[in-house]
Copies of this chain bind each other. A is one copy, B any other.
Amino acid sequence: MPKIKSIHHVAVVVEDMEKSLAFWRDALGMELHELRDVPAEKSQVAFLPLDGAEVELVMPTTDDSGIAKYLAKRGAGMHHICLQVDDIVGMLSQLKQKNIRLINEEPRKADDGKQYAFIHPESTGGVLVELYQI
């Protein structure tokens, strides 16, 4: 049986990265591990790791990406929760059997080899859930 292990990260969509870092890094004192442009996702991402899970701040760098449209429609705030799973192929198969609507029917591969897939908010009660196998 595939198993959800932990919360890997919580992603927050932001309008202004410097203003956001003024809160998360400067006021809360969280460590900014990396600030990276992710051209494939047309965004800039700040990684702020904690024990066990991290906060990721995502700022769209174009107007036409999915995350830019989300920001325009819903405003800044929490975007998705990412759960680490030990067997993503098995989990996606289990979810399909339970008639859960998937955004990615098959795992996608990030540049670093990690596999991920998104579950549609329609099946989760309004939460965009990402699955991640490291």
Chain A contact residues, CB within 8 Å of chain B: 1-7, 10, 12, 14-16, 19-20, 23-24, 26-30, 50-53, 55, 57, 75-78, 81, 83, 91, 94-95, 98, 100, 121, 123-127
Contacts and interface: CB of A to CB of B under 8 A. Distances in A.
Contacts of A24: 124
A83 B14 CA distance: 19
A12 B51 contact: no
A12 B119 CA distance: 15
A4 B27 CA distance: 11
A52 B15 contact: no
Nearest to A53: B7
Given A95-B27, A125-B76, A6 B83 contact: no
A19 B124 CA distance: 9
